[in-house]
Structure 1
Amino acid sequence: MASIAVCPGSFDPVTYGHLDIIRRGANVFEQVYVCVLNNSSKQPLFTVEERCELLREVTKDIPNVTVETSQGLLIDYAKKKRAKAIIRGLRAVSDFEYEMQGTSVNRVLDESIETFFMMTNNQYSFLSSSIVKEVAKYNGPVSEFVPPEVEQALMQKFKG
């Protein structure tokens, strides 16, 4: 049986930190579904479709990664994909507290799906999509934080 994992997130926008986790997850699992979710507590800059397209573009060189979106519960999406694991990236201890809550709920809903926490590469430990958007909004350089395709998309969003 293939080892399948889901790597969920809002990815608004995708950063090098996200890509670090996706690439490393793809090295561990035979198939990784990157699931773009709409976080109702956040006001997105990019539509779900735009985020999916950007992710597809920047992961096209990773053959075992598929980018999709889902509207319902993450655990239901994982079951539908026959995933045995959910990959969550952590930057700091503060991320762990938030992620632990979601993991606990998922364990109640389906204890057969495990959550794997991966620490992001140290060079990205400070990086968040919110920081990237803030820098880009004021025409700051973001090339150290995001792939060129994402940088271009950010420039287009804040043009004007």
Structure 2
Amino acid sequence: MKVAVFPGSFDPFTFAHKDLVDRALGLFDKIYIAIGVNSSKKGMLDYEQRKASIVALYAGNPQVVVETFTGLTVDYCKIVGAQFILRGLRNAKDLEFENPIAQNNLILAPSIETYFLMSRSGTGHISSTIVRDILANGGSVNSLVPQEILRFIK
């Protein structure tokens, strides 16, 4: 069984995240959407809201599991039996950021491979940071965030 972990803060989960997961469902038997908990950071949504919103989005899909975790992603992968880490790339800057992490993960856990998926045209401009900024300034994010997630934001 091919199992992947898609780690992130997902504050909030966007159409760009959804597109990556939906495309990866054809590559993996199970995908853990793993919400990394950083107790020193205060997000827009608390961790349980993030989890509940993503669970609502993927309700009825047994291939997707949503959990929170602390510590190293590779350690979480070992706990859930994942052989792959799934990451999205919007641009060259993302690759520059993600590549050293993937290289170090290979040193820490040589049996866990990182798979990069390029953002689909039309989603590469979406980030949780931009969504939070638009919301903070009273703008609409209806075209950036799935309805199931919006219910937890409003």
Long gaps (5+) in structure 2: none
User: Aligned-pair distance for 1:72?
Assistant: 1.4
User: Aligned-pair distance for 1:61?
Assistant: 4.4
Say whether 1:149 aligns with 2:148.
yes
Ranked by relative contact order (alpha carbons within 8 Å, sequence separation 6 or more), the top structure is: 2
Long gaps (5+) in structure 1: 156-160
Say whether 1:111 aligns with 2:110.
yes
The letter of the residue matching 2:131 is V
The letter of the residue matching 1:94 is K
User: Aligned-pair distance for 1:154?
Assistant: 2.4
Give the distance between the partners of 2:10 and 2:137, measured in 1 at CA: 20
Give the distance between the partners of 2:40 and 2:67, measured in 1 at CA: 21
User: Contact between 2:83 and 2:113, CA under 8 Å: does it hold in 1?
Assistant: yes
Greater helix share, structure number: 1
Corresponding position of 1:158:
none
User: Contact between 2:49 and 2:152, CA under 8 Å: does it hold in 1?
Assistant: no
Say whether 1:83 aligns with 2:82.
yes
User: Contact between 1:7 and 1:32, CA under 8 Å: does it hold in 2?
Assistant: yes
Give the distance between the partners of 1:117 and 1:42, measured in 2 at CA: 26
Give the distance between the partners of 2:18 and 2:130, measured in 1 at CA: 16
Corresponding position of 1:48:
47
**Alignment TM-score, normalising by the size of structure 1:** 0.90
Corresponding position of 2:62:
63
Give the distance between the partners of 1:62 and 1:131, measured in 2 at CA: 28
Structure 1 residue matching 2:25: 3-state secondary structure: helix
Structure 1 residue matching 2:78: 3-state secondary structure: helix
Say whether 1:22 aligns with 2:17.
no
Give the distance between the partners of 1:148 and 1:4, measured in 2 at CA: 27
Give the distance between the partners of 2:61 and 2:26, measured in 1 at CA: 10
Backbone CA RMSD of aligned residues: 1.5
